[in-house]
């Protein structure tokens, strides 16, 4: 079983973000913990293999809140417990407290090492804070660190992608997640583009930067095991791999999704609506869909092609597409160019933060 907990709070909205967040100066931590535990009461949460605190900004939750949730939800430690964190929240004290609470993996929203780019994104940290965050986590004994980077930015920012990759590789975090910038409706970025203040991301640049990252990281010992994710050997994300292989999971919190292998359910998106529903003893679920056999098969093909394992093919049933798809060891797999095309079919990847 895999558990996702959505912490919706952020201190401000990043320029490209359309996630379900609640911008708050003060985080209602006690209320959040209580309401999550109440929702958890309606689920069987036995033998948790992975737990993932995603957001929003889970690192805004006080460490005591994270400790209380882990203590109540899992009597036995799960194998992989990830916290998404913004670099500015990673102090030596927080890192130690997170480790003591049971966090053993941190996903850092670094995004770039160019301070001008970070300002443009409305991020609250600078590059130096990302370096300090990695050090503080390692000092606290959290070695398994993932770093998010965004590529495909508008040309006028003059972002030096090669340099960002160079710095990321030198930091040697165990895992890297790379996301192409997408323009979501009603975000600040969408408004800037509509009034001509900035250009929409360029497709050629997107492709070039994606392929550059692929070459660079592979040369430096990282393995791309999914379209957007690369890790050092032995450090694939177990939690995300469970999503990608269609395994069941439970999601708690506003906008969180759950899947039992057949039916997908998702919670009310807005924090207030979600909080009221759970506090009043109503269901937090906004809606659900049950996948048909055909939908499940299609999803398995799509998810399989997103991973480096590809999909098993019967002899002669599927042919390779030169440059994009190849058949190796009885499995159909995407090349980096194929992944680029496959990824452009996805309108939004929910794991960017
Ligand atoms: S990108 Fe992450 S930190 Fe920024 S507003 Fe969205 S959820 Fe919050």
User: How do residues 23-43 score in pLDDT, each as one tens digit?
Assistant: 999 999 999 999 999 999 989
Question: Mean pLDDT of all residues in the chain?
Answer: 93
Q: Which two tokens stand for residue 35?
A: 């309401």
Q: Evaluate if residue 347 carries a pLDDT over 50.
A: no
CB 1, CB 173: distance < 8 Å? no
Residue nearest to atom 2 of ligand 1 (CA): 353
How many Å apart are CA 181 and CA 255, to the nearest integer? Answer: 22
- To test the ligand 1 pocket, which listed residue (56, 111, 179, 271) has its Cβ within 8 A of the most ligand atoms? 56
Residue 22, C-beta contacts closer than 8 angstroms, at least 6 positions apart: 8, 9, 10, 56, 254, 270, 271, 272
| Residue whose CB lies within 8 A of the most ligand 1 atoms, among 13, 16, 20, for a mutation test | 13
State in Å: Cα 353 to ligand 1 middle: 5
- Tell me which residues have their CB closer than 6 angstroms to ligand 1: 10, 13-14, 17, 19, 21, 55-57, 86, 109, 353
Q: Per residue in 305-342, pLDDT tens?
A: 999 999 988 655 566 677 888 888 888 899 999 998 88
Question: For the CA atoms of the chain, what is the radius of gyration?
Answer: 20
**Which candidate, 88, 83, 89, places its Cα nearest to that of 101?**
83
Q: Which helix (H) or strand (E) holds 106?
A: strand 105-111
* pLDDT reading at 349 higher than 60: no
Cα(185) to centroid of ligand 1, in Å?
15
Q: Using CA atoms, how far apart are residues 129 and 90, in angstroms rounded to an integer?
A: 8
Of 113, 63, 107, the residue nearest 86 (C-alpha): 107
Cα within 13 Å of Cα(44), Cβ side: 6
Q: Is 201 helix (H, G, I), strand (E, B) or coil?
A: coil
Average pLDDT over residues 57-76: 95
> What whole-number distance in Å separates Cα of residue 343 and Cα of residue 306?
8
**Per-residue pLDDT, 315:** 52
Which ligand 1 atom minimizes the distance to the CA of 17? 6
Distance in angstroms (rounded) separating the CA atoms of residues 306 and 341: 11
Atom of ligand 1 nearest to the CA of 13: 5
Q: Ligand 1: distance of its center to the CA of 111 in Å?
A: 11
The dihedral over CA atoms of 285, 287, 289, 290, expressed in degrees to the nearest 10, equals 40
pLDDT in tens, 253-275: 999 999 999 999 999 999 999 99
Mutational test site, ligand 1, from 21, 87, 117, 130, max ligand atoms within 8 Å of CB:
21
């Amino acid at each position: 079983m895999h558990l996702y907990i959505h912490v919706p709070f952020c201190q401000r909205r990043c320029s490209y973000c359309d996630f379900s967040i609640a911008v708050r100066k003060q985080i209602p931590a006690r209320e959040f913990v209580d309401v999550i535990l109440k929702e958890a009461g309606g689920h069987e949460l036995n033998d948790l293999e992975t737990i993932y605190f995603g957001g929003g900004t889970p690192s805004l939750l006080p460490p005591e809140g994270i400790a209380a949730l882990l203590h109540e939800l899992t009597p036995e430690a799960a194998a992989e417990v990830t916290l998404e964190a913004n670099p500015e929240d990673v102090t030596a004290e927080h890192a130690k407290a997170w480790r003591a609470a049971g966090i053993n993996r941190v996903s850092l929203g670094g995004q770039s090492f160019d301070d001008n780019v970070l300002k443009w994104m409305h991020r609250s940290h600078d590059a130096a804070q990302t370096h300090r965050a990695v050090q503080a986590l390692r000092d606290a004994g959290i070695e398994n660190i993932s770093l998010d980077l965004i590529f495909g930015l508008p040309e006028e920012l003059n972002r030096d992608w090669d340099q960002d990759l160079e710095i990321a590789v030198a930091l040697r975090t165990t895992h890297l997640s790379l996301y192409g910038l997408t323009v979501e409706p009603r975000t600040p970025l969408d408004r800037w583009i509509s009034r001509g203040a900035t250009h929409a991301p360029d497709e050629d640049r997107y492709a070039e930067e994606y392929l550059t990252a692929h070459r660079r990281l592979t040369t430096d010992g990282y393995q791309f095991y999914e379209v957007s994710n690369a890790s050092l050997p032995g450090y694939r994300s177990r939690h995300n791999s469970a999503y990608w292989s269609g395994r069941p999971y439970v999601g708690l919190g506003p906008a969180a999704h759950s899947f039992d292998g057949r039916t997908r359910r998702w919670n009310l998106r807005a924090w207030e609506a979600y909080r009221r529903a759970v506090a009043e003893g109503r269901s937090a679920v906004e809606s659900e869909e049950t996948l048909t056999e055909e939908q499940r098969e299609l999803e398995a093909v799509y998810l399989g092609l997103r991973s480096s394992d590809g999909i098993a093919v019967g002899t002669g049933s599927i042919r390779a597409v030169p440059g994009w798809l190849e058949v190796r060891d009885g499995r159909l797999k995407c090349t980096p160019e194929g992944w680029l095309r496959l990824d452009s079919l996805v309108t939004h990847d929910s794991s960017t933060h």
